[in-house]
Chain A
Amino acid sequence: MKSLLRLGRFLKRYRLSMALSLVMLAGTVATDLAIPRMTQTVIDRGILQRDMSAILRTSLAMVGVTAVGAGLFIGNSLLAVQVSQSATADLRRDLFTHIQSLSFANLDRLQTGQLMTRMTNDVMQILQFTLLTMRMFVRAPLMIVGSVSLLLATNWHLALIMLVLIPAAMVVFWLFAAKAQPMFLEVQRRLGQLNTVLQENLSGVHVVKAFVRARHESARYDRKNVALMEQAVAVGHLLAVLLPFLQLVTNLGTVAVVGLGGLQAIRGTLSVGQIVAFNSYITSTMFPLAHLGMMVSFISAAAASAKRVFDLLDTAPQICERPDAYDLPLIKGRVALEKVAFSYDGHDRRSVLNDIDLTAEPGEAVAILGATGAGKTTLINLIPRFYDASAGRVTIDGVDVREVTLNSLRSQLGLVLQESILFGGTIRDNIRYGRPEATEEQVVAAAKAAQAHDFIMRLPEGYDSWVGQRGVNLSGGEKQRVAIARALLMDPRILILDDSTSSVDVQTEIKIQRALERVMAGRTSFIVAQRVSTVLHADKIVVLDRGAITAIGTHSELMEGSSIYREIYASQLGDDQRGQQHVSE
Chain B
Amino acid sequence: MSQNDARSRPHSTSGAHPGTPMMHGPRTGGGGPIEKARDRRGTLKRLAAYLRRYAVHLVGVVGLVTVASLLDILSPYLLGLAIDRFIASGDAAGLLRLSLVMFGTYLTARVAQFGQQYVMVGITQRVLRALRGDLFDHLQTLSLSFFDQHTPGELMSRLTNDVDAIQIGLSHTITETIAAVLSVAGIVIAMFLLNFWLALGGLVVVPLMLWLTTAVARRTRRGFREVQAGLGQMNAVMEENISGARVVEAFGRQGRAVADFQRANVRVRDASIRAQSLAMMLPPLLMVLGNLHIAVIGGLGGWLALRGLVSVGIIATFIVYALRFFRPLRSLAELFSTAQAGLAGSERVFDVLDRVAAVGDRPDATELEEIKGQIEFDGVNFQYVRDVPVLTDVSFSVKPGQMTALVGPTGAGKTTIVSLVSRLYDVTQGAIRIDGHDVRDLKQDRLRRQLGIVLQDTFLFSETVMENIRYGRLDATDEECVAAAHLANADQFIERLPQGYQTPLSERASNLSEGQRQLLSIARAALADPAILILDEATSSVDTRTEVGIHQALLKLMEGRTTLVIAHRLSTIRNADVVLVIDQGRIIERGTHDELLAQRGFYHDLYMSQFRRAEVLGQG
Contact = CB atoms under 8 A, between A and B. Distances in A.
Given A407-B252, A410-B252, 8 more contacts: A63-B295, A100-B241, A100-B245, A116-B235, A199-B152, A433-B253, A507-B609, A573-B618
A247 B110 contact: yes
A206 B146 CA distance: 12
B614 A533 contact: yes
Nearest to A75: B284
18 contacts: A59-B299, A195-B16, A195-B159, A195-B160, A206-B459, A211-B449, A212-B445, A217-B140, A237-B121, A240-B114, A252-B106, A266-B95, A372-B514, A373-B543, A433-B251, A475-B411, A573-B615, A574-B574
Given A52-B306, A204-B461, A232-B125, A506 B25 contact: no
Contacts of A8: none
B208 to A, nearest CB: 13
A243 B98 CA distance: 26
B269 interface: yes
Given A233-B122, A407-B252, A203 B459 contact: yes
Most B-side CB within 10 Å, residue of A236, A241, A258: A258
B611 interface: yes
Contacts of A225: 129, 132-133, 136
Given A571-B547, A574-B571, A70 B287 contact: yes
B96 A191 contact: no
Contacts of A112: 239, 242-243
Interface in A241-298: 241, 243-245, 247-248, 251-252, 254-255, 258-259, 262-263, 265-266, 272, 275-276, 279-280, 283, 291, 294-295, 297-298
A263 B614 CA distance: 107
Nearest to B80: A276
Interface stretch (A35-43, A152-160, A329-337, A518-526): A35-43
A208 B619 CA distance: 46
A247 B291 contact: no
Contact of B248 (A100, A226, A275, A530): A100
A225 B411 CA distance: 40
A19 interface: no
Nearest to A425: B240
Interface string B227-259: 000000001111111111111111111101110
Given A266-B95, A272-B83, A47 B312 contact: yes
B235 to A, nearest CB: 7
Most B-side CB within 10 Å, residue of A196, A490, A507: A507
Given A235-B20, A255-B106, A276-B319, A100 B258 contact: yes
B329 to A, nearest CB: 16
Interface string B94-106: 0110110011001
Interface in B320-356: 320, 323
Interface string B446-486: 00110101010101011000000001101000000000000
Contact of A206 (B28, B87, B133, B455): B455
List the 10 shortest-distance A-B pairs measured between CB atoms, nearest first: A371-B543, A236-B121, A59-B299, A55-B302, A259-B99, A240-B117, A73-B284, A214-B140, A66-B291, A251-B106
A183 B539 CA distance: 48
Main secondary structure, interface of B, reads: helix
Interface residues of B, number: 177
Given A206-B459, A221-B136, A248 B544 contact: no
A555 B110 contact: no
Interface stretch (B7-15, B38-46, B367-375, B427-435): B7-15
Nearest to B605: A507
B560 interface: no
B620 to A, nearest CB: 6
Contacts of A373: 513, 543
Report the contact-size class of chain A (Cβ under 8 Å from the partner): 35 or more
A421 B246 CA distance: 9
B298 A254 contact: no
Contacts of A233: 121-122, 125
A312 B511 CA distance: 25
B111 interface: yes
Nearest to B544: A568
B358 interface: no
Contacts of A436: 256
B99 to A, nearest CB: 3
A547 interface: no
Interface stretch (B51-59, B186-194, B270-278, B388-396): B270-278
B184 interface: no
Contacts of B524: 211
B448 A191 contact: no
B126 interface: yes
Contact of A55 (B87, B258, B299, B613): B299
Interface in A45-92: 46-48, 50, 52, 55-56, 58-60, 62-63, 65-67, 69-70, 73-74, 77-78, 80-82, 85-86, 88-89, 92
Given A204-B459, A258-B79, A576-B571, A62 B242 contact: no
Contacts of B178: none
A66 B296 CA distance: 12
Interface string A101-122: 1111001000011011101110
A141 B595 CA distance: 89
A332 B609 CA distance: 34
A196 B237 CA distance: 27
B18 interface: yes
B306 A50 contact: yes
A199 B616 CA distance: 48
A202 to B, nearest CB: 4
Contact of B87 (A59, A198, A209, A266): A266
Most B-side CB within 10 Å, residue of A55, A205, A510, A580: A205
A262 B273 contact: no
B294 A258 contact: no
A418 to B, nearest CB: 9
B291 A69 contact: yes
B89 to A, nearest CB: 9
Interface stretch (B213-221, B260-268, B397-405): B260-268
